[in-house]
Structure 1
């Protein structure tokens, strides 16, 4: 395991070198790759043979802004964020990445320049393969090409939604919209673990203090219920009415 130091950021990350994916027990990560690309096991096996697994520690920098890339990363577990930094040090969230998301060089034949830092929020496991290989597989198999199109369209919708919310909603309204969006990912409207206020504020481009006041106001009005481990939206229609 290699130790990578980032003195300017104040932390040290441990990065596990890439290991052949096909050597994992029980065919892992073949089932995950088949699900991510909505393809058959035979096609997924072709993808897996061309890639590697790579692990990153909590808060590790997976990709750096400005680096030249030839690799595509499929996020298997954990969470990551693509971040930009303003001239005044302001951090701007470009993308949230969760299990099943793809980032890096996606389908390009030539190397491309990375447009943002990608930072792990948790210990992260990724499946990595050459972007040119991914492009060739997409040409050969319609399922992979269609899956890539769907992934890119989902990312475009996410970006469009964020741009609209920043232009049309108040800071508090953006906090409420993000909480409702997160809650609706679960059938019981329960966000677990409970959102970290600093991360919530970053996702909606506001301050931690504003996010804290907004969440506390919902708690006092009985619209959400919090405990040590989770946050549950108990009145989603009331919360939706507050998104202005």
Structure 2
């Protein structure tokens, strides 16, 4: 069963979560401490449903550690990945009326530690501290842009092209164009809405052509311009 408790009782984790909140809300340590005292920590074991599609929720969930996927199912039973949530990402209620029906299952891909903040508390804090509202707005705009980019890719690119685009996107997040850890092919396929076999063939072909190189703990894009040319 997921573990729950007040944030105040988790002193060993508290400092790390407060530091995370500083980054999430672009706020001072003092304000992060106030937010921390108003929320609670909760852990979800791997493969646990954090939120189910159709649940009525009134809480903001902030991922403190681990990874979670927001998924829906197509009419033919295929899993469709809507979002991947990593440390510092959040989902749930972020705007009035602070209670809503959730539109997807959110499942813990790893063991997840999260910080929960009631929507009514979030509303009060956002009214009192402009940085919180601005941070929520920026995050929502970024997520919308990511969603639009993925929608374009699904319409305009082949399945293999989407694999190439995702690898390049992940590599460009690191100065050395390295993806750490090495992507799991099944996760990569889910990310771009294709089959595991298609993703595996695309990655293997890139390796054979010397465009990417696999090390023990990372996948390096050796020739980013050549990879970009293959995004079709």
TM-score normalised by the chain length of structure 1: 0.90
Contact 2:212–2:219 (CA<8 Å) still a contact in 1? yes
Q: 5+ unaligned residues in a row in structure 2: which ranges?
A: none
Paired with 1:104 and 1:74, the residues of 2 have a C-alpha distance of 9
Find out whether 1:40 has 2:28 as its counterpart: yes
**Contact 2:67–2:112 under 8 Å retained in 1:** yes
The CA deviation at 1:218 is 0.2
* Cα separation, partners in 2 of 1:47 and 1:69, compared to 1, 3 Å: same
Distance 2:119 2:72 in 1: 23
Residue 31 (structure 1) shift: 1.5
Match of 2:224 among 210, 230, 236: 236
Question: Contact 1:81–1:94 at 8 Å: present in 2 too?
Answer: yes
Residue matched to 1:154: 142
Moved more, 161-170 or 229-238: 229-238
TM-superposed CA distance for 1:19, in Å, is 3.1
Which residue pairs with 1:197 in the alignment?
185
Query: RMSD between aligned alpha carbons?
Result: 1.4
Q: In the TM superposition, what is the alpha-carbon distance from 1:135 to its structure 2 partner?
A: 1.4
- The whole-number CA distance in structure 1 between the counterparts of 2:98 and 2:25 is 22
Deviations 1:14-41 (A, max 9, x none): x222332464246342111111100112
TM-score, normalising length: structure 2: 0.95
How many residues are treated as equivalent by the alignment? 231
Q: Is the 8 A contact 1:79 1:98 kept in 2?
A: yes
Q: Tell me the distance in 1 between the aligned counterparts of 2:151 and 2:73.
A: 17
- The whole-number CA distance in structure 2 between the counterparts of 1:18 and 1:203 is 33
Q: Tell me, what secondary structure is at the counterpart of 1:181?
A: helix
Residue 12 of structure 1 corresponds to: none
More helix by share: 2
C-alpha contact 1:22 1:28 (8 A) present in aligned 2: no
Distance in 2 between the 1:104 and 1:213 partners? 36
Determine the structure 2 residue equivalent to 1:58.
46
* 2:8 maps to 1:16: no
* Equivalent of residue 199 in structure 2, options 187, 211, 225: 211
- Does the 8 Å contact 2:60/2:118 carry over to 1? yes
CA contact (8 A) 2:59 2:98 kept: no
The equivalent of 2:133 in structure 1 is: 145
Equivalences for 1:55-204 in 2 at 5 Å? Answer: 55-204=43-192
Preserved CA contact (<8 Å) 1:22 1:49: no
Name stretches of at least 5 consecutive residues in structure 1 with no aligned partner: 3-14
